[in-house]
Amino acid sequence: MTNQNTLRDRAQAFRALHVPGRPLVLPNAWDTVSACLVEDAGAAAVATTSAGLAWELGAPDGDRLERDAAMEAVARIAAAVDVPVSADIESGYAQDPAGVADTVRAVLAAGAVGVNIEDALYGAGEGPLRPVAEQAERIAAAREAADTAGVPLYVNARIDTFLRGAGGVDLTLELAAAFLAAGADGIFVPGTVEPETVKLLADGIDAPLNVMAGPGAPPVPELAALGAARVSVGSGITQAAHALVRRATRELLTAGTYDSLTDGLDYGELNELLGRTR
């Protein structure tokens, strides 16, 4: 288990990586081997994707995964790498602020030093976003739990205005201000990579801005020039990996050929990567 001093050091190191114009680039991982590959490629930190992690554990994304299962997976990832780990905890794996605080304590026990907490609501009859005051209470509970533990956990407040079609720049800035006042350290706005919008958000938010990129998005240097402090890809790499599984399987079962396997990683390289003493 990571001791408290090491956890504090990792949290401070992770916090320092968020620099507008020189963004932290996070190729999101979903299990131990993907985390090790991300670290081995030179990433300064590892961030989990809640969707990829849920799928790996046999659950759909969207507040459907049990907290204990998620935290066990995060602990395996954090134990496998030496760089800081940030955990995507969806809306907190809890019904109320006290439960979010419990989740944060579990995150720290797992060895992670950052969290994403989203404001999206899932379920029949519910609005696309959690009411701002309620979400602020959940963020405040996360902040207090981490502060009480003496770890400067990086709380990345995810605002799903664009992703859920719930609003534009003005509402996003309003929510960002409320969540920062509640104790968030950064703001994550997935669902838009339009340069003018990213610039308005980066200029209007008094904290590091995280954007989610993917095919069709501006390259990282352009997002950096617009003021982004963090660029992640969400479940994108997971989806690409699973697309290969389906493509290779269909090829094998139909044509009976193996071309999809041509660019696979070397068995020995992967085995050695997972066999390193940590």
Tokens of 147: 């502060």
Q: Is residue 2 within 8 Å of residue 20, measured between CB atoms? A: no
For residue 36, the one-letter residue type is C
Map out the domains of the chain as residue ranges.
Answer: 4-236
88 three-class SS: strand
Locate 108 and state its tokens.
């720290």
Burial of 1 (0-12, 13-18, 19+ CB in 10 A): exposed
Task: Calculate helix-pair angle for 67-80, 32-40, nearest 10 degrees.
Answer: 40
- pLDDT for the residue numbered 123: 74
Task: Name the pLDDT band for 125 (thresholds 50, 70, 90).
Answer: low
pLDDT at 278 over 70: no
Residue 126 has pLDDT above 80, yes or no: no
276 pLDDT above the threshold of 90: no
The CATH architecture to which 4-236 belongs is Alpha-Beta Barrel (3.20)
Q: How far apart, in whole angstroms, are the C-alpha atoms of residue 241 and residue 97?
A: 35
Name the pairing type of β-strands 85-88 and 24-26: unpaired
208: tokens are 């590091």
How far is CA 91 from each of CA 115, 190, 191, 242, rounded to the nearest angstrom?
10, 15, 17, 25
The pTM (predicted TM-score) of the whole model is: 0.95
pLDDT of res. 191: 97
Q: Centre a 10 Å sphere on the Cβ of residue 8 and count the other Cβ atoms it contains.
A: 17
pLDDT at residue number 118: 97
Q: How far is CA 269 from CA 33, 37, 49, 122, 273, in A?
A: 12, 10, 24, 41, 6
C-alpha span between 95 and 116 (Å, rounded): 16
Question: Could you tell me the pLDDT band of residue 3, with boundaries at 50, 70 and 90?
Answer: confident
